[in-house]
Structure 1
Amino acid sequence: MAFEGSYAEMSAPICLINNTEDGGLVVCEEAMKILDQITQPVVVVAVVGLYRTGKSYLMNRLARKQRGFALGSTIESKTKGIWMWCVPHPQKKDHTLVLLDTEGLGDVDKGDEKHDVWIFCMAVLLSSTLVYNSLGTIDNTALEKLHYVTKLTEHIKVSSQPKGKEEMYNTSTEFMRVFPSFVWTVRDFTLELEIDGKPITADEYLENALNIKPGDSRNDGRYKTRSNLRDFFAVRKCFVFERPATSKKMKKMEMLSDDDLEEDFVKEAKEFCSYVYSSAKAKTMRGGMRLTGRMLATLAQTYVDAVSSGQVPSLDNAVESLSRIQNSRAVSEAVDFYHSEMIKKVKFPTETQQELSDLHSVVEKEAISIFIRNSFNDLDQKYQKELKTQLEHEYGELFTQNKEESRKKSRSVISQVFGPLEEGIREGAYLRPGGYSRFCRALETANQEYKLKKGLGLMSEEVLAAYLMEKSEVGSSILATDCSLSEAEQKIQVEKLQRDVLEQKNKCLEEQKKIQEQQIRDRQKSYEEHTAQLMKKLEEERERHREEIQRTIDAQFKEQTRIKMEGFLKKSQEMEKEINKLKKEENKVEKGFFRSAIDKFCSWFK
């Protein structure tokens, strides 16, 4: 089964990032090929957590499948590396839901802490929503087991290049802008959701667990985990699940229907899925630049390459790599589409320039759309300008071919319809008294027959004009030898011949003028189409950019209020500076941050 704008739907998950024998990571080619076919925006949901906590079951629920990601029924960790399942998004039209199930963390048989950290980091870097799955309660022990959050600043960096003072944000602010939303799912939860005897929500339960007290030691791993969760993830959500079934039943979870599970668990699972479907955003990079499946594939490869070479993955480097690879490809695919569609649709020669122009406009519009849809961070519209140049060249080639095909066919028809006239000239049939009148009648008869012919194309008048000009010299010679005409009559005939030739020449000039005027209209229409599609994309990116900033400001302000209450005044002042920087950036975006890009492109285009 296939769904529009995407790929053959996957019947089961496959490995996206695998483990190598030396403990490294490698991107799997088959998964890359699948992602490469997805030109839709992707909503990427990754699940992480300790092994044997039921992560895979949640992913299967999100896929709305009974089976898929391996569940297992023993203490052995089933999932190795990161596995991927791409399915049509249940609620967001023209989006693909990419589910990532990660290798269980803390596997005693594996015993590789560094490897676990990289798996966790990859899940953070690739996802738009990160689900952390644990058992029991959110207590000190649970926070200790989530210590991977404290390693993020060591294993991920925003930029490899230093920035100016005005541009610099704290690492936590930068991470908060681009990191996924965070969902903590607590399995086998048996406590009552209440504090001091008052009922609370699951979200309040999570936030209460993340409270920091003035006496807490900054060197305590649990303090760092709490702090980083609050500093790095702007959106946090919590779901608690009671035990789904008896231990005996849970050994065969893949076989159980909802009727076999505890009613409250089924309800909680449905609420979790509903939240993810409605709230999980499409994956974006900083600045609101949204990713498609093929971009996600490039991103995964970029990060894995960095890790394999011993480097720390850089968000800015990833953007640069994506831009270079995706934009070159976007230009190539758009031009290839234009070329193949025009060759397929144009029947040479076209009767008029308008006919070719109309086809060009339709196909060019779709070619631009292909580029716009697949381009990424096209700074100064460098690649769109390249696209414009190449499409102009392609159209120019078709225009030239159209004219040549018209000339070729017109000359062929002239040879046919003027054949009897040419034969009479060769045999000297008109070099006798009254021959000029017979020559003129033969010429006019052939002329009328030629003009009745269809499908000669836009150069038919030019070819005819050239032929009549050539025959005017022959006619003058015949006229000079026709002794049946007086000198005065010959003069009249010479003038008439000149008028006929001039009239045909004017027709030819008028036709060429129409062609030139159409070419001007084509350029104007192309300019308008490029500009309109670029404007639409930049406005969409501006809105996502604004949402990104506003989400971060809201989270920062909420956190600032919270740390004031906790007594951390110095940190509150630092956050005030960060909030002010974000507000300045938001104001810049609101006032038309992308307008300059449009203006630059338009001035270059004209």
Structure 2
Amino acid sequence: PGPGYVTKLTELIRAKSSPRSDGIEDAREFVGFFPDFIWTVRDFTLELKLDGHCITEDQYLENALQLVPGQDPQTQTSNWPRECIRQFFPRRKCFVFDWPVSDPQLLAKIESISESQLNPNFQKQLENFCSYIFSHATGKRLGEGILVTGSRLGNLVQTYVDAINTGTVPCLENAVKTLAERENSTAVQKAAEHYSEQMAQRVRLPTDTLQELLSVHSACEKEAIAVFMEHSFKDDQWKFQKKLVVTIEERKKVFMEQNESASLSHCQAELDKLSASLRESISHGTFSVPGGHSLYLEARKKVEQDYEQVPRKGVKASEVFQNFLKSQITVEESILQSDKALSDGQRAMAAELAKKEAAEKELELMRQQQEKKEQEIEAQMRSFAENMTQLQKKMEMERENILRDQERVLDHKLKALKDLLLEGVEEKYEDLRREIKLRDEEIKAMKHSSIQNILEIAGNILTEVLPVVCNMGMQILSSYIVG
């Protein structure tokens, strides 16, 4: 590379959307994006010695990267590639390889010879190289430990190409943001689909109780949130997690409606069958005789007892039977009034008893409806708690990744500072020392910072789409955010 390599790099691509005025300073941000540097030297014929002492392959590389003293153009040209490699690649490794064969004739047909004909030293060096690659090489990552998968790489390339075609300078930071938008949207879709698929597999409609449905919902939601957390990144304003909360709430509501509809249909069909003989007796005037009211009550009680024995009636069981009783009020009053075996006083007592029983059943229905509301509230509270728990875990992991990356870069810069002192290159010493001080302060601040306040902001955002939790206000947030 020529002397303008670093400046040229920042003209072609930027690490930050708001770069510093100093091109070199901005270039140092690339350290967080660049991979490890592995230098392989083929057909190596030199001795691994320095000043008469044996050195390792890595020491050979570091010695080759030492800056040559001097400010003349030729020296600067010689130093620039060394400086760039040292700046951009904190982790460096070197492997040297002997000639694969010593016989020139075999070398001419190297691709067709057997492995046994290869130089034993070359084979050992190759084995060491492969072992290192398989055990130490990592996948391409963006800042904050974001792994670049095949689909992410495709999206990144598309983003860079779009930027170049529009005449703008590609920016790594902006590319990551664009990638995050796409990936997070896909993460919401994957999580929502997982929820729907698992609910459909695990729930048999109608469920005996609402709680049975909500328990399965909580388990499936927990898995869905985990799917989202696995595939999402840099959801800084929690826009996509909020969208997931909304989506799962909507799908939960659909399952609840389907559950109620299945229960309603099932209960109505069973009750119609069980009450068929009662309706037939009424139409034939079976109860329009002295003592008919008592006969009617017995027949209706038999319908109620048989109905109670029907399995898996579901959440609409009481409501369906209550509606049935309401439909019988006029019939019962007619039978009661025409029963000549009863005195006026007995008729009045029977009518009063019927009103009392109807009121009790109405109260029981109201109690069940209130219980349903409480269960729905608890489900939303569990939803909020699970979202916050998994979000906190993810944020703590991301902070650890950021700290690890920052400390890695800081260690690299400290080593570079030490090398500058040893090599007597003083003109860049002060700039690098100031940068090290600022980065060290950033790391210390991050270590002592708490994510509590951030979680409270996230909690407020997520509760906007959970009406029950939102109405309960901030008093509930503290109990679900672990300090």
Same structural fold, with TM-score higher than 0.5 when normalized by the shorter chain: yes
Distance 1:218 1:584, change over 3 A: farther
Give 1:574's aligned residue.
431
Is residue 173–residue 552 contact of structure 1 (8 Å, CA) maintained in 2? Answer: no
User: Structure 2 residue aligned with 1:404, among 261, 286, 304?
Assistant: 261
Q: Are positions 1:369 and 2:226 aligned together?
A: yes
C-alpha distance 217-206 of structure 1, shift in aligned 2 (>3 A): farther
**Structure 2: gaps (5+ residues):** 464-468, 470-483
CA contact (8 A) 2:16 2:26 kept: no
- CA deviation map 1:511-567 (0-9, x unaligned): 223322221221122122212222222222111111110011101011011112222
Residue 277 (structure 1) aligned to one of 94, 110, 134 = 134
Rounded to whole Å, the distance in 2 between the matches of 1:218 and 1:157 is 27
Pick aligned residue for 2:248 from 391, 414, 439 = 391
Deviates more, 1:471-480 or 1:277-286: 277-286
Name whichever of 392-401 and 170-179 sits farther off.
170-179
- 2:252 and 2:53 map into 1 onto residues whose CA distance is 72
1:267 paired residue number: 124
Does the C-alpha gap of structure 1 residues 224 and 248 become closer, same or farther in structure 2, counting only changes over 3 Å?
A: same
Number of residue pairs matched?
461
Q: Which residue of 1 aligns with 2:67?
A: 212
* CA distance 1:529–1:394, shift in 2 (3 Å): same
1:202 paired residue among 29, 34, 57: 57
Cα deviations by residue, 1:251-289 (Å, 9 ceiling, x for unpaired): 555555643322222222222222223322343322333
**Quick check: 1:470 aligned with 2:337?**
no
Counterpart position of 1:447: 304
- Asked whether the 8 Å contact 1:380–1:597 carries over to 2, the reply is no
* Partner Cα separation in structure 2 for residue 581 and residue 376 of structure 1: 26
**Structure 1 contact 182–233 (Cα < 8 Å) conserved:** yes
Q: Secondary structure at the match of 2:41?
A: strand
Equivalent residue number for residue 77 of structure 2: 221
Hey, what does 1:328 align to over in structure 2? 185
After superposition, the Cα gap between the structure-2 partners of 1:599 and 1:259, relative to the gap in structure 1 and judged at 3 Å, is: farther
Instruction: State the shift of 1:442 in Å.
Output: 0.7
One-letter amino acid matched to 1:443: R
Aligned residue number for residue 39 of structure 1: none
Q: For 1:187-586, what aligned pairs fall within 5 Å after superposition?
A: 187-217=42-72, 220-245=76-101, 246-250=103-107, 258-586=115-443
Distance 1:288 1:451 in 2: 59
How many percent of aligned residue pairs carry the same amino acid? 35
Q: CA–CA distance in 1 between the matches of 2:341 and 2:73?
A: 120
Whichever residue aligns with residue 435 of structure 2, its letter is E
- Closer/same/farther in 2, CA of residues 391 and 253 from structure 1, 3 Å limit: farther
CA shift digits 1:468-500 (9 cap, x unpaired)? 123133212211121111122222222322232
1:342 deviates by 2.1
| C-alpha separation in 2, matches of 1:257 and 1:362 | 57
Which has the larger share of strand? 1
User: What per-residue deviation string (whole Å, max 9, x for no partner) do you get for residues 27-78 of structure 1?
Assistant: xxxxxxxxxxxxxxxxxxxxxxxxxxxxxxxxxxxxxxxxxxxxxxxxxxxx
Amino acid at match of 1:224: W
The aligned counterpart of 1:159 is 16
Deviation of residue 241 (structure 1)? 1.1
Q: Which amino acid aligns with 2:84?
A: N
Mean Cα deviation higher: 526-535 or 151-160:
151-160
Does the aligned pair in 2 maintain the 1:479–1:490 contact within 8 Å?
Answer: yes
Q: Secondary structure at the match of 1:570?
A: coil
The 3 A distance-change label for structure 1 pair 169 and 217 is closer
| CA positional deviation for 1:148 | 7.6
Q: Distance in 2 between matches of 1:355 and 1:147?
A: 68
1:196 alignment partner AA: D
Alignment correspondent of 1:100: none
Question: For each residue in 1:577-604, what CA deviation from the matched residue of structure 2 results, as whole angstroms up to 9, or x when unmatched?
Answer: 1112211221232124644432222233
2:39 is paired with a residue of what secondary structure? strand
Amino acid at match of 1:214: P
> How far does the alpha carbon of each residue in 1:449-484 deviate from its partner, in whole angstroms, 9 at most, with x for none?
011001211110111112112313321221112111
Distance 1:254 1:487, change over 3 A: farther
User: Relative to structure 1, is the Cα distance of residues 224 and 169 closer, same or farther in structure 2, using a 3 angstrom cutoff?
Assistant: closer
SS in structure 2 of the partner of residue 237 of structure 1 = strand
1:326-358 Cα deviation digits (max 9, x unpaired): 111111221122223323432221111122112
> Does the CA-based 8 Å contact 2:410-2:436 persist in structure 1?
yes
Encode CA deviations 1:166-216: one digit per residue, 9 max, x unaligned.
Answer: xx9912320122211111111111111011111111111111111113315
Separation (CA, whole Å) in 1 of partners of 2:42 and 2:8:
25
Deviation at 1:247, TM superposition (A): 4.6
After the TM superposition, which residues 90-169 of structure 1 pair with which residues of structure 2 at under 5 Å, given as runs?
A: 152-162=9-19
Is contact 2:20–2:26 with CA below 8 Å preserved after alignment? Answer: no
**Which one has more relative contact order, counting CA pairs under 8 Å at least 6 apart?**
2
Question: Is 1:289–1:377's contact at 8 Å kept on the other side of the alignment?
Answer: no
Return the structure number with greater helix share: 2
Seen in structure 2, the aligned counterparts of structure 1 residues 573 and 147 have a Cα distance that, compared at 3 Å, is closer
* SS of alignment partner, residue 454 of structure 1: coil
Distance of 1:557 and 1:253 partners within structure 2: 45
5+ residue gaps, structure 1, are 1-142
Q: Distance in 2 between matches of 1:500 and 1:170?
A: 83
The amino acid of 2:446's aligned partner reads V
* Residue identity matched to 2:46: L
Aligned-partner Cα distance in 1 for 2:318–2:24:
68
| Partner-residue secondary structure (3-state), 1:312 | coil
The alpha-carbon deviation at position 150 of structure 1 amounts to 8.2
Q: Could you say what secondary structure the match of 2:288 adopts?
A: coil
Output the amino acid matched with 1:501: A
- Residues in 2 aligned to 1:392 and 1:283: alpha-carbon distance in whole angstroms: 36
1:429–1:263 Cα change, 3 Å: same
Rounded to whole Å, the distance in 2 between the matches of 1:441 and 1:345 is 41
Greater CA deviation, 504-513 or 524-533?
504-513
Q: 1:170 to 1:501 in 2, by over 3 A?
A: same
When structure 1 is superposed on structure 2, of 365-374 and 552-561 the one drifting more is 365-374
